[in-house]
Amino acid sequence: MIGRADIEAAYQRIFPYIRKTPVMQMDADALGLGYPVTFKLEYLQATGSFKLRGAFNNLLTSELSEAGVVATSGGNHGAGVAYAATALGIPSTIYVPAAIAAEVKLRRMRGFGAEVVAVPDPVSDAYVVCQAHAARTGALEIHPFDSDATLAGQGTVGLELSAQADIDTLLVSVGGGGLIGGVLCHYQDDLRIIAVETELTASMAPSREKGEQVTIMPGGISASGLGASAIGDRGWAAAQKWLDGHAVVSDADTFEAQRRLWDASRIVVEPSAATALAALTSGAYVPEKDERVAVLLCGANAEPDWFMNEA
């Protein structure tokens, strides 16, 4: 398992290529919650999500070749890999599960220089094709969430936040566990971390309830960002050691959280980021009196009016 030294080294490595994203505090009345909330505005990265951190850390710790890099992604990881690869002068290929591919994220990946290939159902086929590409060409494969370099890169979000805000609790959306795993490896026992998932992407919650990793078929509004079929081994190990709790929200809760965020701040994030906030706005997580709560707004790669179009 990675430690704080690995995350600090990753931060020094990737700092020239990323943005130090700001924090913002919403007052007690802004979201209708009755208590203030601090936001870590990680969606302000160049690619619109935290995934850029892990992508750069992978590339900057690997031997690169003309074959470039390859990854499988629902969008944000692919955008991060494409951006980092282009910045370092190598090609990138991203295999995308057609079932969860959002057009706005496909455009982002292509715009950052990737060759994007949609793979028909099932979702797991994209990963198989990606591995075959790596074996055939010698391209570096970058896992979206389950590698030490990925966790160390994503953990730099926590490293930044710890110097920016005094908080007691941090709510983090969970897909494959790379982000929450990295954040847990940074904070360890110093902070209460709550994992948040939607009902149709929840693998952490049933895994914690069963005591072992559970495999699911993800779906729903947050699937393009949180649509891993299972928590990765590294994120799961970190969760078993340090995760304090979890919350599960509905798609309707996610729509409502984004509406409140828009009304209060004119901020638009993607569904996977609004999922973390939905734990508060839905009441799935209720802070204690005077508990200082923060929400990691992890990405914003969605159509700007997505929350207006609930069926």
For 260-299, write each residue's pLDDT tens digit.
999 999 999 999 999 999 999 999 999 999 999 999 999 9
**33 and 45 part of one domain:** yes
What's the rounded Cα separation, in Å, for the pair 162 and 182? 13
Higher pLDDT, 127 or 310: 127
pLDDT of residue 102: 75
**167 and 101 part of one domain:** no
**56 and 159 part of one domain:** no
What's the rounded Cα separation, in Å, for the pair 122 and 105? 19
**244 and 123 part of one domain:** no
**109 and 86 part of one domain:** yes
Identify the domain boundary among 119, 141, 163: 141
Indicate the number of domains in the chain: 2
C-alpha closest to that of 151 among 267, 254, 252, 3: 3
**190 and 278 part of one domain:** yes
Which domain, by its residues, includes 129?
A: 51-141
pLDDT of residue 171: 98
For 143-202, write each residue's pLDDT tens digit.
989 999 999 999 999 999 999 999 999 999 999 999 999 999 999 999 999 999 999 999
Tell me whether strands 37-41 and 23-26 are parallel, antiparallel or unpaired.
Answer: antiparallel
C-alpha closest to that of 263 among 281, 285, 276: 281
Distance of CA 238 to the CA centre of its chain: 16
Q: Helix crossing, 51-60 with 76-87: angle to 10°?
A: 40
pLDDT of residue 123: 64
**157 and 277 part of one domain:** yes
SS3 content of the chain, % helix, strand, coil (to 5): 45, 15, 40
Q: Which residues contact 178 (CB under 8 A, 6 or more apart)?
A: 54, 144, 145, 146, 150, 151, 154, 232, 234, 235
For 20-70, write each residue's pLDDT tens digit.
999 999 999 999 999 999 999 999 999 999 999 999 999 999 998 899 999
In the three-class reduction of DSSP (H, G, I as helix; E, B as strand; rest coil), residue 95 is classed as: strand
The token pair at 261 is 């965020």
**123 and 263 part of one domain:** no
**177 and 254 part of one domain:** yes
pLDDT of residue 224: 84
Q: How confident is the model at residue 122 (pLDDT cuts 50, 70, 90)?
A: low
What's the rounded Cα separation, in Å, for the pair 179 and 236? 11
* Radius of gyration of the chain, Cα coordinates, nearest whole angstrom: 18
The reported pTM is: 0.94
Identify the domain boundary among 107, 141, 175: 141
**Residue 250 main-chain phi, psi, to 5 deg:** -90, 165
For 62-97, write each residue's pLDDT tens digit.
998 899 999 988 789 999 999 999 999 999 999 988
At CA 240, angle to CA 276 and CA 216, rounded to 5?
A: 60
- Tell whether the model's pLDDT for residue 311 goes beyond 60: no
- CB-CB contact of 248 with 202 (8 Å): yes
The token pair at 22 is 């700001």
C-alpha closest to that of 27 among 264, 257, 194, 259: 264
**170 and 264 part of one domain:** yes
CATH code of the domain covering residue 282: 3.40.50.1100
Identify the domain boundary among 109, 141, 173: 141
For 192-230, write each residue's pLDDT tens digit.
999 999 999 999 999 999 999 999 988 999 988 898 889
pLDDT of residue 80: 95
Cα distances (Å, whole numbers) of residue 286 to 30, 101, 165, 282: 17, 33, 20, 9
In the three-class reduction of DSSP (H, G, I as helix; E, B as strand; rest coil), residue 142 is classed as: coil
**79 and 163 part of one domain:** no
